[in-house]
Amino acid sequence: MEEFSQKAKKSFKMGLDFLQKKAKETVDRTKLQNQLSKAKEDKHQALITLAERVCVMFDMDTFSPEELKDSVESVREFQQQIVSLEKQLQEVVQGDEPPPDEPPQT
């Protein structure tokens, strides 16, 4: 009977550890997805601002690439953020899946 109790405790602990790991992975994935959405929205807004500035410069016949460098750099930074976040998200998602050599645990 004591052996059964020990096995039950061990099984319960393994289940609890599994649930804690999955909960952390879900939180991490959700956090990265939210950061990715924000970075994409920020990039979109930066592109709109850049386009508006270009239009105003052309309308005023005062186009100056030098004055656009800060806006272009902002767009590039957001793009780098997006690439980095997508990579991190992919790593988290791949961490959720069992390796192909290992059969899923039941």
Tens digits of residue pLDDT in 61-96: 988 889 899 999 999 999 999 999 999 999 888 876
DSSP 65: G
Instruction: Please check the confidence at residue 10 and state whether its pLDDT lies above 60.
Output: yes
pLDDT band at 37 (very low <50, low <70, confident <90, very high): very high
pLDDT (mean) for 33-41:
96
pLDDT (mean) for 2-29:
84
Instruction: Please check the confidence at residue 5 and state whether its pLDDT lies above 50.
Output: yes
Burial class of residue 2 in the structure, from the number of CB atoms within 10 Å of its CB (0-12 exposed, 13-18 middle, 19+ buried): exposed
Residue 106 has a pLDDT of: 46
